[in-house]
Amino acid sequence: MIQAQSLLKVVDNSGAKLVKCIKVKKKGGKSYANVGDIVIVAVQSLRPRYGRRIRLKMNKSEIHHGVIVQTRRLFRNKGGVGLSFNCNSVVLVTPNLKPLGTRISATLPTRLRNLKWAKLAAMAKRII
């Protein structure tokens, strides 16, 4: 479960490396987020730039929207199969819910495809 002040790893190539959760959106009073939920995050650290021509899409301490794609907490599907990951991860999106990056370098759960995030599932390296 992700809540305010949680540190999250960014698994896309948008330029951020580590972000901090500020607020969980559209949960109806609940203060935690699971896989597929939208959160508002602040950039804590950036990926290193290799060469001068690479232009970063963001700066430190900017505010962005993100989608939770991996959590350490075990969640079960309707078949009873449980799945958990080794870190809490997020993919950054625009306010219009389009991805900021072009590649996702992590394994995503199939649950995201059912939760209107088929675009993220198509960009992923692997789906479990």
Burial degree of 7 (CB within 10 A; 0-12, 13-18, 19+): middle
Query: In terms of DSSP H, where are the helices of the chain?
Result: 111-114, 118-123
Q: Which residues, including other chains, have CB under 8 Å from residue 38's CB and lie 6 or more apart?
A: 24, 25, 26, 65, 66, 67, 93, 97
DSSP annotation of 37: -
Cβ–Cβ under 8 Å, residues 62 and 20: no
Cβ–Cβ under 8 Å, residues 51 and 35: no
**Assign residue 9 a region: left if phi > 0, alpha if psi is -120 to 50, beta otherwise?**
beta
Supply φ then ψ for residue 67, to 5 degrees: -115, 130
Residue 10 in this model has a pLDDT that exceeds 80: yes
Confidence of residue 93 (pLDDT cuts 50, 70, 90): very high
Confidence of residue 26 (pLDDT cuts 50, 70, 90): confident
Which region among 22-26, 38-42, 79-83, 117-121 has the lowest average model confidence (pLDDT)? 79-83
Specify the fold of 7-102.
Ribosomal Protein L14 (2.40.150)
What is the predicted pLDDT for the residue at 49?
73
What is the predicted pLDDT for the residue at 55?
63
Each residue's pLDDT tens digit, 33-90: 999 999 999 999 998 876 565 666 788 899 999 999 999 999 887 788 888 899 999 9
Q: Which is more confidently placed, 100 or 27? A: 100
